[in-house]
Amino acid sequence: MGRRLARVTSRTMLTHVRHVTPVAPDAADGPVARVYGQLADDFGVLAPPVLLHSPAPDVLRACWLMLRETLLAEGLVGRDAKEVVAAAVSESNRCPYCVEVHGATAAGLLGDAGGWLTAGVGGIGDPRLRALADWARHSGDDGPARRRPPPFPAEHGPELIGVAVAFHYLNRMVSVFLQDSPLPPTPAGVRAGVRRTAARIMGALARTGRPPGRSLELLPPAPPEADLAWAVGQPHVAAAFARAGQAVRRAGAAALPEHVRRRVLACVADPPPPEPGGRWFDAVVAELSPPERPAARLALLTALAPYRVTDADVAACRDGGADDAALVAITAWASLAAARRIGARLYGGGLGPPAAGVPVADAAVGEEASRAGEA
Which amino acids are annotated catalytic?
98
Rg (CA), the chain: 19
- The three-class DSSP label of residue 244 is helix
CA terminus-to-terminus distance, the chain: 40
**Helices and strands in the chain, H and E counts:** 18, 0
Sign of CA dihedral 273, 276, 282, 285: positive
Sign of CA dihedral 207, 209, 213, 215: negative
Report the alpha-carbon distance of residue 152 to residue 145 in Å, rounded.
16
Within a 10 A sphere around the Cβ of 33, how many other Cβ atoms? 15
Residue 65: partners with Cβ closer than 8 Å, 6 or more residues away: 215, 216, 218, 219, 240, 241, 243, 244
Q: What residues form DSSP beta bridges with 73?
A: 210
